[in-house]
Structure 1
Amino acid sequence: MNNQVNVKVDAGVSIGVQEHLWRYIGYDECNYTYIPEGVDLLKKFAALGDAPYYFRTHFMFCTGNCHGTYKFGSTNIYWENEKGEPVYDFTYYDYIIDAFLSTGNKPFIELGFMPMDLVDTNYLRPAAGNWEKYGRYKEVGWTCPPKDYDKWHDFIKAVASHLVEKYGAEEVKSWYFELWNEPDIFYWSGTAAEYCKLYDYTEHAVHEVLPELRLSGPAVTGIFEGGHAQKFFRFFLNHCRDGANFCTQEKGTRLDFITFHVKGGGFPFEMHAPKAVPSVESLVHQVKLGLDIIQEYGYQDCEVVLSEADPDGWAAGGIYDNANMIFRNTEYYATYVASTYEKIDQLSSQYGIRVRPLAWAFMFPGERCFEGTRTFTTQGIDKAVFNMFKIYGSLGNEKLSFESDGTKKLEFLKEPEIGVKNHSQYTGEGEDTDVAGFAVRGKNGEIQIVIYSHCNDRDKVEDQKISLTVDGIGEKEVKIRHYRIDSEHSNPYAEWVRQGSPLFPEGEQYDAIKARDGLEKLCEDETAAVNGALSLEFSLPAHAVSYLVIE
């Protein structure tokens, strides 16, 4: 099926600043940060044209062997001696921060989770012996409130003081800090009120050290109408605005910016899972519901970071856990990001609130090639989704007029059953293809146009005939470069399949796959004589991104 989509760009009409809202990345396993594979990926992000990127990772306060494993990590930053006195060891904590900074990036520091010697054991079943005690800690102990909030306060103060002393106040002021992760679910064994208490003590401690430090919460996940996360979010914002501060007994608590999480779906362990896909619309709907609450409590002037903005909820699961994770290896993941981020940008403008999505993806060492986990690279090979970030990183800051008659406008947010699409058995079948994008003026005056095509149904095969008109160029000769992400371009997964899907490719086989992991051109560069307007036509598959540079 061939549909014509008309896209119009007016290079003579500037409509404001194009926020580089995509410069936020996160992952669970903090100890992967400083290993060679982690550092290599950090360097790749730092090499993008709009670096630095901000990195958030879990488990930075946890107790363990300081070796990364799926969904766990540790630094042993805090322990207590035989007298019950705190001992601070920043060795591994600094490895993580140093890796961010030495590669040219910035930390987005998550203050969590609970060190073993600070856990309030009243939240745990009794354990006999060290093995059982540590097993209980790894199972649930790190999610517990502290046994002593004053000790927690001193601990946080010590962390903030160490960071300022080691890296300098001016540097630390440029970072983001966030208390905990998803306290509305199993990541927090306390109540909403106890989380607010933890926040009050944390806020007092960090700002006692550095008043300009930026602190946020509550990082709740999956805001649905009437759901627990929505209630928790309201409880927290109400507490910060009007509640009695647990630490100072004054009214309210300082909140520098706000975080919450959004997910497009959920794919559990299911070896023979029926087809399911993530929903763009459900994720964007969760963003809207969160922004509505922020306005309701009068925090619309705060920056908002969606500190996990993901197509699904299990980064460490791969195709061998659930076959639906296949989308992460392909161009589908790139177009999903393009579609959700563009619509989040629209919502940001509509609400007048600065919103930044954080992509929860990184890398996993030692995996099979194209494992299907939520990563940017596999065995050092850049996946199609990372090429989307290469496009983002090259863009300028001046937004230009852009119109597409094939776009899904935000009216879909009014659909009464939109939240149902988040269900794990949603297939996307019957959905329309969304063709949208944006245009900017580059750093050297060039016109940069991003046009994406995305359908939630990953199996949909459909070509759009794009009729692109670019006005406002004037009378001149221009050079046109056209880059493409699709099933055959900027997509090493296709080459991996052609090579027989080897689990651990080597030699010429690896080289052939690696050779296709860059941002590739759809066609040879063109030159054209323009008299006011430029007209171009090309086909765009149902899952594809075109990036055109006109100079």
Structure 2
Amino acid sequence: MSKQVNVKVDAGESGGVQEHLWRFIGYDECNYTYIPEGMELLGKFAALGDAPYYFRTHFMFCTGNCHGTYKFGSTNIYWEDENGEAVYDFTYYDYIIDAFLKSGNKPFVELGFMPMALVDTNYLKPAGGNWENYAQYKEVGWTCPPKDYEKWHAFIKAVISHLAEKYGREEVISWYFELWNEPDIFYWSGTAAEYCKLFDYTEHAVHEVLPEARLSGPAVTGIFEGGHAQKFFRFFLGHCRDGANFCTQEKGTRLDFITFHVKGGGFPFEMHAAKAVPSVESLVHQVKLGLDIIKEYGYQDCEVVLSEADPDGWAAGGVYDNANMIFRNTEYYATYVASTYEKIDRLSVQYGIKVRPLAWAFMFPGERCFEGTRTFTTQGIDKAVFNMFKIYGSLGDEKLAFESDGAEKLDFLQEPEIGVKNHSRYTGEGEDTDVSGFAVKGRNGEIQIVVYSHCNDRDKEEDQTICLKVDGVGSREVNVRHYRIDSLHSNPYAEWEKQGRPLFPEGEQYAAIKARDGLEKLCDDEKVTVQGSLELQFEMPAHGVSYLVIK
């Protein structure tokens, strides 16, 4: 017998602004941006109703052949002539920025990593010959501090000046800028103090050219109590607030917004791994710890971008690397996003801080169908998680009162060590199913209701009967449209399995899978005569999203 969950919406009670916090996307491989598959996916995001979306990508300053590979990319933006003078080549850098803008989106510009000609070789082992030097650069050189901070300053000025000249000052100040990525781990070979020094020189250079530009840091990894990222985060915020500026020798450094990362778990290379799942609670707990520190240092008025907010930490790994990556192909990824983003939104309201999660997912060209990488599409087929973003993109921006007696409360945030406990080798078994969501008034006055059901245990099978009551509808006839993401709807993975799990489907086989990649209805539209309140009842599995439009 299915359990009953009561959901109540009051269409006559406004709850303020519904922030479209989900409009941030990122990925490692910058050179995938402008290839046909990358442009196709950028176009799909630009077609969403709340576009533009902001795109962040790594390796934008790196030296190489400008051809994307897993976890690396390059633009050859900077090199030096025989006299040690800087030479700039913006060709491939512009390809990337152009792709974002031409598709109808905007850049979230990551300023990193270190060009080969600027690397301080004191951080490297002695190497001989071009091959060995470049091999060492690709392995670790790009993580190093600059050999000359004045040259770095001039480089950043040249980049910002170029962007302002090519795209216009008003356009560029609408973007986000961020220095580096995860400097608390292997992405930065320097110390926390050296990162602060790099930030000081970067901030001065950026704002010398564009005083209105928004610049952030430090983009540290997941914050756990007593962990290195937490200590790094405090050190950086303390430096910006009270420290001696390395560039100007004055007190403090301007900080326009703040970034840090949150992940729900970790799945390393382990071909025969035991069952593990990402934890919603661990990810949200990391958000809470980060916001606590931001308040502690007096930066609660700053916007916060969780510039990587994901179920796990290895986007390029797939089911052939760790079988637990299977969740990325299914409705589970969509419900995980729905659950974490809804709780982040609640925290944002609770703390009075604007918090925006950035999904670190894109696409990989040439992969096997449903490879299990953290992507929105596979071979051009939209996965269930992208249908979640189609729902998000269609929503209005006026919150309506929403209650669910099946919603997980945020009490777990007070549980000691829940973030660590749930982060590794966590199965989710025995966990309750979280049934919650939110409601908004649509752009044309319609009532839009999102109800999700999520359990961390991906294998849990449980039905619940949703009893939805919508007050404040008035006395009139309404049309009810009901979309669903679950194992059978808006989920081409199920059709792929039905077609025999082909690695590279084509012809009728591909067409059959592709035909199931849109947002699908659970049932036919229904016309209902309402006298004040609308009452609906429907079944939901342990992993599903219902999207109802009433007008």
Q: So what's the TM-score if we normalise by structure 2?
A: 1.00
Q: C-alpha offsets along residues 58-112 of structure 1, whole Å, 9 cap, x if unaligned?
A: 0000000000000000000000011111000000000000000000000000000
State the Cα distance separating 1:412 from its structure 2 match: 1.1
Counterpart residue identity of residue 406, structure 1: G
Letter in 1 for 2:549: V
> Which position in structure 1 is the counterpart of 2:339?
339
Cα drift, residue 420 of structure 1: 2.8
Query: Counterpart of 1:510 in 2: which secondary structure?
Result: helix
Which residue number in structure 1 is paired with residue 50 of structure 2? Answer: 50
Alignment-derived partner of residue 278 in structure 1:
278
CA distance in 1, matches of 2:170, 2:368: 42
Q: Distance in 1 between matches of 2:111 and 2:265?
A: 27
Work out the CA distance in 2 between the residues paired with 1:369 and 1:491: 14
- In 1, are the aligned partners of 2:184 and 2:192 still within 8 Å (CA)? yes
Name the amino acid aligned to 1:374.
R
In structure 2, what is the equivalent of residue 508 of structure 1? 508
1:146 maps to 2:146: yes
Counterpart-to-counterpart distance in 2, 1:417 and 1:549: 40
> 1: distance between equivalents of 2:407 and 2:464?
12
Contact between 2:110 and 2:177, CA under 8 Å: does it hold in 1? yes
Provide the residue aligned with 2:19 in structure 1: 19
Q: Is the 8 A contact 1:279 1:421 kept in 2?
A: no
Question: What SS class does the counterpart of residue 402 from structure 2 fall into?
Answer: strand
| C-alpha deviation, 1:422, in angstroms | 4.0
Unaligned residue ranges in structure 2 (runs of 5+): none
* Distance (Å, rounded) in 1 between the aligned partners of 2:193 and 2:308: 23
Instruction: Give the whole-Å Cα distance in 2 for the aligned partners of 1:157 and 1:371.
Output: 41
Return the offset for 1:423.
Answer: 3.3
Shift of 1:410: 0.7
One-letter amino acid matched to 1:254:
R
Helix, strand or coil at the partner of 2:262: strand
Residue 484 of structure 1 pairs with residue 484 of structure 2 = yes
Measure, in 1, the Cα distance between the counterparts of 2:76 and 2:541: 50
Inter-partner Cα distance in structure 1 for 2:136 and 2:294: 37
Is 2:237 the counterpart of 1:234? no
CA–CA distance in 1 between the matches of 2:465 and 2:184? 46
1:408 corresponds in structure 2 to 408
SS at match of 1:109: strand
1:469-480 correspondence to structure 2 within 5 Å: 469-480=469-480
> Displacement of 1:421 after TM fit?
3.7
**Which SS does the other structure have where 1:453 is aligned?**
strand
Secondary structure of the structure 2 residue equivalent to 1:477: strand
Mapping 1:27-176, distance limit 5 Å: 27-176=27-176
Is 2:544 aligned against 1:544?
yes
Distance 2:19 2:274 in 1: 38
Q: Is contact 2:224-2:286 (8 Å) kept? A: yes
Could you tell me whether the CA contact under 8 Å between 1:265 and 1:422 is conserved in 2?
yes
- Distance in 1 of aligned mates of 2:317 and 2:144: 25
TM-aligned CA distance change 1:422 to 1:85, over 3 Å = farther
CA distance in 2, matches of 1:27, 1:7: 36
- Summarize the alignment of residues 515-526 of structure 1 with structure 2, pairs less than 5 Å apart: 515-526=515-526
CA distance in 1, matches of 2:527, 2:356: 37
TM-score w.r.t. the length of structure 1 is 1.00
* Secondary structure of 1:68's aligned partner: coil
Q: Using the alignment, how far apart are the partners of 1:409 and 1:64 within structure 2?
A: 49
The answer as to whether partners of 1:266 and 1:422 remain within 8 angstroms in 2 is no
Residue 241 of structure 2 aligns to which amino acid in structure 1? R
- Show CA shifts across 1:416-437 (max 9, x none): 2312344331000000000000
Give the Cα separation in 2 of the matches to 1:465 and 1:37. Answer: 40
How far did residue 323 of structure 1 move?
0.2
In structure 2, C-alpha distance between the alignment counterparts of 1:337 and 1:396, rounded to whole Å: 19
Task: Tell me if the contact between 1:288 and 1:347 (Cα under 8 Å) persists in the aligned partners.
Answer: yes
* Alignment-mate amino acid for residue 450 of structure 1: V
How many angstroms apart in 1 are the aligned matches of 2:3 and 2:123?
Answer: 59
Q: How many residues are paired up?
A: 551
- Structure 2 contact 224–420 (Cα < 8 Å) conserved: no
Deviations 1:429-453 (A, max 9, x none): 0000000000000000000000000
| Inter-partner Cα distance in structure 1 for 2:15 and 2:21 | 17
1:287 paired with 2:278, answer: no
The residue matched to 2:199 in structure 1 has which SS? helix
Partner of 1:417: 417
- Root-mean-square deviation (CA), in Å? 0.5
Deviations 1:299-350 (A, max 9, x none): 0000000000010000000000000000000000000000000000000000
CA–CA distance in structure 2, aligned partners of residues 198 and 416 of structure 1: 35
Counterpart residue number, 1:4: 4
- The whole-number CA distance in structure 1 between the counterparts of 2:76 and 2:94 is 11
What one-letter code is carried by the residue in structure 1 that aligns with 2:117?
D
**Distance in 1 (alpha carbons) for counterparts of 2:221 and 2:132:** 31
Q: Are 2:360 and 1:360 aligned?
A: yes
Q: 4+ residue runs of structure 1 moved beyond 6 angstroms?
A: none
CA–CA distance in structure 1, aligned partners of residues 102 and 419 of structure 2 = 42
Displacement after TM superposition at 1:545 (Å): 0.0
The answer for the alignment partner of 2:460 in structure 1 is: 460
Q: Paired residue for 1:224?
A: 224
Between the aligned partners of 1:145 and 1:49, the Cα distance in structure 2 is 41
Tell me the SS of whatever aligns to 1:203. Answer: helix
Secondary structure of the residue that 2:52 maps to in structure 1?
A: coil
Partner amino acid, structure 1, of 2:155:
F
Q: Which letter maps to 1:266?
A: G
Instruction: Name the structure 1 match of 2:311.
Output: 311
One-letter amino acid of the counterpart of residue 485, structure 1: I
Q: Which residue of 1 aligns with 2:444?
A: 444
Determine the C-alpha separation between the residues in 2 that align with 1:422 and 1:34: 38
Shift of residue 33, structure 1, vs aligned partner: 0.1
Deviation per CA, 1:369-410: give whole Å up to 9, x if none: 000000000000000000000000000000000000000011
CA distance in structure 2 between the partners assigned to 1:241 and 1:271 by the alignment: 46
SS in 2 for 1:55: strand
Residue pair 2:225, 2:417 contacting (<8 A) in 1 also: no
2:348 alignment partner, SS class: helix
**Alignment match, 2:301:** 301
SS in structure 1 opposite 2:72?
Answer: coil
- Per the alignment, in what secondary structure is the counterpart of residue 419 of structure 1? helix
Q: CA deviation at 1:414?
A: 1.0
